[in-house]
Amino acid sequence: MSPSRIAARVQRIKPSPSSAAADRAAELRRQGKAIVNLVVGEPDFDTPAHIRRAASEAIERGETRYTQTAGTPALRQAIADKLQRENDLCYDPRHIIVTCGAKHAIFNAMAITVEPGDEVLIPAPYWVSYPDMVLACDGTPVIITCHEDDGFKVTAAALEAAITPKTRWLLINSPTNPTGASYSTAELRALADVLLRHPQVLLMMDDIYEHIRFDSEDNQHILAIAPELRNRTLLVNGVSKTYAMTGWRIGYAAGPADLISAMDTLQSQSTSNACSISQAAALAALQGDQSFVVESARIYRERRDRGLELLNAIPGLSCRTPGGAFYLFVNCSGVIGRKTADKKILETDTDVVLYFLETAGVALVAGSAYGVSPYFRMSIATGIEVIEEGCSKLAAAVAALS
């Protein structure tokens, strides 16, 4: 038998479980089945009108050609202004790069720094793409399991225990996909103190959900708390979640000159610049009226509260109150071991999610996709009426178990 033509680094990774779940839900809909889709992690709002207008105006001005690989000077300056205004962080635009989404920035950062044998510390539950991006770059993902009793957040003690001489990166997402966990100033200070004892470890902060927060707690950036980490920290963010611009594919990274320069070089030989029209739209997003950001966060909070009320009323299911993002990470241990109408035992959270999909017509993602079981993720980036319908169907499906 001839060897595979596919490189080993690609064979090591798997398709995104959340994308697979969304595809399965779409397939069932095409078959005529009514599906309540609570999978997709993107805002259900339209991109604000002034941002859409800015894109149209850019087209009419002929801004349809290549930009600098790292992004237009205007957009990089706007990002620098945002970091100063909102995060109290001063960055020269030369130390900022615009990418084709935040995922692109994370992948490129791994690609320029990770070599065989290097370890990347990833707290779990994690966004599904993190471990596979590390594997694709020949690194070793090291998973730090974060327990529900700790708010699904990595503790200083757990971080200290996980660091080895091979550790290259610690990757922190706050608020977190899938749990909505949001690190406090005190928690970030404790993690920073650990990192300061291990100067070989780089820190990547995935801040993509930073504006979707529900608590009134002081949420300083870790670099405002521990500026001495700046020379080994990469900040990753984008406009997708904050401004309902997922399809526009604009992310960015800010960090030390050598990392940004290497990312620029790699990007110049792969994607080149991000879409010029999308960059014009992102400029308008960062510089324009921010009332959409406040209002959308308010609506997400209403959805969170209603979803929590309904889910926690279902025997066998429970959910912590998330501090941000637009997901509920639901503990389903209370239905593990129960039987369906056809006498099948639900042994895993994957079984539970498949049961809800096939029996109740509710699409979710199993917690195992995020590195922790038995849980499932429910997206609340949809209308309250959809959340209510989904929870009603889940309650009926649980009640039918024996």
- Within the chain, what is the greatest distance between any pair of CA atoms? 65
Which residues, at least 6 apart from 382, have a Cβ–Cβ distance to it below 8 Å? 37, 38, 40, 44, 303
Residue with tokens 């980490």: 229
Architecture of the CATH domain 62-287: 3-Layer(aba) Sandwich (3.40)
**Spatial contact of 43 and 326, defined as CB atoms under 8 Å apart:** yes
**What 3-state class would DSSP assign to 177?**
coil
H or E element that contains 157: helix 156-162
CA nearest to 231, candidates 257, 192, 211: 257
- DSSP for 247-309? GG--EEEE--HHHHHHHHHHHHTTT-SPPHHHHHHHHHHHHS--HHHHHHHHHHHHHHHHHHH
**Spatial contact of 277 and 249, defined as CB atoms under 8 Å apart:** no
- Measure the CA–CA gap between 350 and 354, rounded to whole angstroms: 6
- Measure the CA–CA gap between 394 and 380, rounded to whole angstroms: 15
> Which fold does the domain 8-46+292-399 belong to in CATH?
Aspartate Aminotransferase, domain 1 (3.90.1150)
Residue ranges of the domains in the chain?
8-46+292-399, 62-287
Which residues, at least 6 apart from 347, have a Cβ–Cβ distance to it below 8 Å? 336, 337
**What 3-state class would DSSP assign to 184?**
coil
**Spatial contact of 219 and 213, defined as CB atoms under 8 Å apart:** yes
DSSP state of 42: S
- Measure the CA–CA gap between 158 and 353, rounded to whole angstroms: 30
pLDDT confidence of residue 381? 97
pLDDT confidence of residue 27? 82
DSSP state of 360: I
pLDDT confidence of residue 103? 97
pLDDT confidence of residue 13? 87
Averages of pLDDT over each 10 residues, the chain, 402 residues = 81 79 78 89 96 98 98 98 97 98 98 97 97 96 97 98 98 97 95 98 98 83 97 98 98 98 98 98 98 97 98 98 97 98 96 94 96 98 97 98 96
Burial of 277 per CB tally in 10 Å (0-12, 13-18, 19+): middle
CA angle 314, 180, 133 (to 5 degrees): 120
pLDDT confidence of residue 4? 87
